[in-house]
């Protein structure tokens, strides 16, 4: 027998639990229904084989893929003289590390690293190790077939959206000598604003990738299509270092009319043009080498004519200095941020311990970056001095520093696109 009081308590408890469960279930169902009808928080929707998904966080990195060559024009031995310069993180040598022993290259300890002000665009923009894979795609002056890219362009008038489908690629070069294959994927950007950046998934061990991925870009009026350019960057994923750049495809939409329906195009993949961007400003740097102390002094003096990066028409620039030995970054340092200026004066010096016998394989990268407190910092331009300089002025500056020890050599250099 149960007393009336206990029975009443049990009944009240069951009632409260039942009401609570009912309210909880109703709330979850209501929230789920709201999510289904909610406007997508992204400017584009990624369609992977017909299934709508939201894209993962995309990287803005850009890279430059090239091969260092000897004076006689022959490519250097694979695995040597290649750089990986990344504005956010350094590349590491993986399976192609030099063996330890008497003949191994001298070891360079990592130098002290200053605290970062923020994350830079990695950049998409930097040198990548090409010699360890294949020297063909980037050898200057060589007629090398890099394959073809097939894609389609369409326009959705009711939604004012540009629809680009990356279908497949054919005849890609071998970027991994071990597997005699590649791990290709594609990054796409709409120029000139560079606001829309997307990338496909990586397809493993294939030279004939079938992507079949659709990207929808909202908020693009049809009247502006004629002013836009589609930029496809074809890369090969590398597990142990930075990804290799195979080539690029530039498609001006001025010659494409998707008003009557989907337009399918096939374009040849070309070697990336690392000097395609001008008017990135200039940077003045000074270098001097002390052979007795085996120290390199790098002074970031000033910059001028930098592009406007903020809505105020100014920028908040600083310079990141990366030092590379072969493919490995051994030091990184930064200047202070100069607020609201397009002609900053830095006058900051950095000292690096570099043995004289390592100088032929040393490269110094200068990244001019616009600091932003609310969003990611954006790379304005870059300069490389040393073994992997891509300009005649950079090669001459480095040669003059090596030929004149204990003398500070200061010069202006035009910044290239990252």
Task: List per-residue pLDDT tens for the chain, 418 residues long.
Answer: 668 888 888 889 999 999 999 999 998 888 877 766 554 443 444 444 433 333 333 333 333 333 344 444 444 444 333 333 333 333 333 333 334 444 444 443 333 333 333 333 333 334 433 333 333 333 334 456 788 999 999 998 888 888 999 999 998 998 887 888 889 999 988 887 766 778 899 999 899 999 999 999 888 888 888 888 888 999 998 877 667 889 899 888 887 888 888 889 999 998 876 544 446 789 999 999 999 999 999 999 999 988 887 767 788 899 999 999 887 889 999 999 999 899 999 999 999 999 988 888 899 999 999 988 777 788 888 899 988 887 888 889 999 999 999 999 999 998 887 5
- 174-196: per-residue pLDDT in tens? 888 788 888 999 998 888 776 67
pTM of the model: 0.41
Identify the pLDDT of residue 37: 55
| Cβ atoms of residues 346 and 382 within 8 Å | no
Domains, the chain, with CATH or none = 147-269 (2.60.40.150), 281-415 (2.60.40.150)
Closest CA to 183 of 133, 131, 235: 235
- Residue 165: how many CB atoms within 10 A of its CB? 18
Question: Which residues, listed in sequence order, are joined to residue 153 by a DSSP beta bridge?
Answer: 164, 263
CA 252 to CA 297: how far, in whole Å? 45
Identify the pLDDT of residue 1: 64
What are the two backbone dihedrals, phi and then psi, of residue 169, each rounded to the nearest 5 degrees? Answer: -135, 150
Positive/negative CA dihedral, 305, 306, 311, 315: negative
| Cβ atoms of residues 233 and 188 within 8 Å | yes
Identify the pLDDT of residue 297: 94
Identify the pLDDT of residue 352: 93
User: pLDDT > 90: what percent of the chain?
Assistant: 31
Identify the pLDDT of residue 209: 92
- 66-87: per-residue pLDDT in tens? 334 444 444 444 433 333 333 3
Identify the pLDDT of residue 418: 59
């Amino acid at each position: 027998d149960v007393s009336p009081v206990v029975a009443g308590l049990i009944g009240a408890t069951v009632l409260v639990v039942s009401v609570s469960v009912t309210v909880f279930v109703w709330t979850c169902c209501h929230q789920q229904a709201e999510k289904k009808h909610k406007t997508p928080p992204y400017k584009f929707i990624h369609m992977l084989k017909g299934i709508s998904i939201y894209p993962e966080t995309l990287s803005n990195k850009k890279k430059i893929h090239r091969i260092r060559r000897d004076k006689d024009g022959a490519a250097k031995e694979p695995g040597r003289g290649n750089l990986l310069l990344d504005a956010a993180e350094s590349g590491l040598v993986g399976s192609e590390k030099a063996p330890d022993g008497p003949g191994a290259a001298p070891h360079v300890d990592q130098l002290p690293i200053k605290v970062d002000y923020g994350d830079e665009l990695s950049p998409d923009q930097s040198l990548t190790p090409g010699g360890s894979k294949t020297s063909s795609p980037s050898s200057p002056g060589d007629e090398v077939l890099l394959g073809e890219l097939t894609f389609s362009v369409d326009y959705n008038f009711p939604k004012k959206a540009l629809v680009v489908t990356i279908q497949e690629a054919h005849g890609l070069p071998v970027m991994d000598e071990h597997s005699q294959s590649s791990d290709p994927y594609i990054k796409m950007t709409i120029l000139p604003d560079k606001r829309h950046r997307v990338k496909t998934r990586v397809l493993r061990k294939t030279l004939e990738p079938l992507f079949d991925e659709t990207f929808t870009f909202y908020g693009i009026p049809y009247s502006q299509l004629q002013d836009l350019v589609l930029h496809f960057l074809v890369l090969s994923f590398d597990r142990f270092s930075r990804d290799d750049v195979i080539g690029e495809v530039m498609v001006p939409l001025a010659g494409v009319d998707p008003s009557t329906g989907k337009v399918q195009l096939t374009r040849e993949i070309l070697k990336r043009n690392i000097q395609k961007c001008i008017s990135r400003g200039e940077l003045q740097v000074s270098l001097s080498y002390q052979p007795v102390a085996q120290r390199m002094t790098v002074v970031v003096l000033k910059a001028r004519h930098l592009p406007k990066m903020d809505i105020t028409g100014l920028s908040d620039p600083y310079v990141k200095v990366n030092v590379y030995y072969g493919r490995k970054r051994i030091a990184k340092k930064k200047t202070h941020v100069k607020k609201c200026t397009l002609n900053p004066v830095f006058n900051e010096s950095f000292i690096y311990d570099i043995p004289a016998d390592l100088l032929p394989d040393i490269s110094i990268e200068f990244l001019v970056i616009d600091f932003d407190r609310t969003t990611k910092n954006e790379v304005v331009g870059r300069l490389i001095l040393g073994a992997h300089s891509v300009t005649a002025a950079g090669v001459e500056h480095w040669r003059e520093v090596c030929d004149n020890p204990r003398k500070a050599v200061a010069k202006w250099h035009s910044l290239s696109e990252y």
